[in-house]
Structure 1
Amino acid sequence: MFTGIVQGTAEVLAIDEKPNFRTHVIKMPEGLLPGLELGASVSHNGCCLTVTEVDGDRVSFDLVKETLRITNLGDLKVGDTVNVERAAKFSDEIGGHLMSGHIMTTAEISKILTSENNREIWFKPQDASQMKYILHKGFIGIDGISLTVGEVTRSKFCVHLIPETLMRTTLGSKRIGHRVNIEIDPHTQAIVETVERVLAQREVALVAAAISEQQTEKPEA
């Protein structure tokens, strides 16, 4: 599990490309190296990856076909940077919201509005069906960053970013057309799906009751 509070950015140093598989090596920030071992979980742009090799500050991770398909990690090139976060411990402060590191979809940046000390970024999810889980003032994970949703339309949503977030994460360098990873808040997802299921069951029950009533009605003499 992760908190959505990005602990640093890491440069991609090398990429070993294979059919439907990739290994990339990042330069892990010095402060995140203590205790880092094989098998540890590290969030890359919000996607949970497993450490496969540690060589000083050069840390390797494997990316399988599904990860490359669903996330923006397959777009990375040597020299790019990613947001990184070590897995949370039970004693850690949850400054953002609990995140699993499981990316649901990606979203394209469709608009950027900049004013003094503020930036508003609009996103259009690749999978439009995910919009039902994105609610005004709800939580969302964007490239591993825990953020609060601003305005929401039928196909897009926005977030408001302070200078600290822009400085400490990769969102400060994003431009229109760039893709970001999206993790939906699981609590919101559970509530939405439960309500949908209850309403669907109620509709089925009402239809069944109406049919039963029609069948039991006696024809007029």
Structure 2
Amino acid sequence: MFTGIIEDLGIVTKLENENENLHLTMRSKITHELKIDQSISHNGICLTVVDIDDDTYTVTAIKETLDKTNLSQLKTGDLVNIERAMKLGDRLDGHIVQGHVDQTAVCKHIKNTNGSWVFTFEYDKALNNITIEKGSITVNGVSLTVVDSKTHMFSVAIIPYTYEHTNFNIFTEGTVVNLEFDVVGKYIKRLYDINAISS
């Protein structure tokens, strides 16, 4: 379980394919605090630490994860949003994030609003995920509030601190990001859909 508050920008130092799996080696300032088997969010994807070597660590993504996220697009030197799992009893500064990406989206527009930025994303509506005004959304692991919600598009406002401390600062129009929709909203929608079908 995560909160969507990013701890560090990790750097991809090595990508190694093994059968249908991808091993990602990351350099991070928090590596010395990690341990084998620990769950870490990478651009919103929960992955398990399988190896630690000095200031780098390695995680493995399986085909299912690669198919549903932007991990397969990573290159050596890319920046990745990193967050360790929350501790029981900590303040929940973001919102409840599972680290289970629902789908990807494409950045369609970036607007500099003289002190902050508004990013607009478009996603495939065929997967039936939804956003609502002022609801929570996770973009590349970052907990955000929806400021403009449409059928298959939404916008978020990014303050300077978030812009500087996440990989939002390297997004361009066309950048593919990972989305995790609000878990409470997903359950409510599922129950509504079931009731609609049965009635």
Where 1:52 maps in the other structure, the secondary structure is strand
Question: Residues 176, 9 of structure 1: CA spacing in aligned structure 2 closer, same or farther, 3 A cutoff?
Answer: same
- Going from structure 1 to structure 2, the CA distance change for 1:168 and 1:131 (only over 3 Å counts) comes to farther
> Structure 1 length normalisation: TM-score?
0.86
Contact 1:46 1:183 in 2 (8 A): yes
Task: Give the equivalent residue in structure 2 for 1:101.
Answer: 99
Deviations 1:17-36 (A, max 9, x none): 23321111100214x532x2
Distance 2:146 2:129 in 1: 13
Q: How far apart are 1:130 and its partner, in Å?
A: 4.5
Q: Secondary structure at the match of 1:101?
A: coil
Partner of 2:32: 33
Alignment of 1:1-221 (within 5 A): 1-30=1-30, 33-34=32-33, 36-125=34-123, 127-130=124-127, 132-202=129-199
CA contact (8 A) 1:131 1:156 kept: no
Paired residue type of 2:188: I
Q: Is the 8 A contact 2:41 2:47 kept in 1?
A: yes
In the TM superposition, what whole-angstrom CA distance separates every residue of 1:106-155 from its partner, at most 9, and x where no partner exists? 00001111121111111011x31356421111111100000001111222
Q: Deviations over 1:6-27 (max 9, x none)?
A: 0110000111123321111100
Is 154-163 or 42-51 further displaced after alignment?
A: 154-163
User: Can you list the C-alpha shifts for 1:85-107, whole angstroms capped at 9, x where unaligned?
Assistant: 01111021110001110000000
RMSD of aligned C-alpha atoms?
Answer: 1.3
Question: Matches of 2:98 and 2:182 in 1, distance apart?
Answer: 9
Identity of aligned residues (%): 33
Q: Secondary structure at the match of 1:133?
A: coil
TM-score relative to the length of structure 2: 0.95
User: How many residues of Structure 1 are paired with residues of Structure 2 in the alignment?
Assistant: 199
Structure 1 runs, 4 residues or longer, greater than 4 Å off: none
In 2: Cα distance, 1:129 partner to 1:94 partner: 32
Higher helix share: 1
Rg larger for: 1
Letter in 2 for 1:72: N
Amino acid at match of 2:19: P
Supply the AA of the counterpart residue of 2:56: R
The alpha-carbon deviation at position 5 of structure 1 amounts to: 0.4
User: Unaligned regions of 5+ residues in structure 1, if any?
Assistant: 203-221
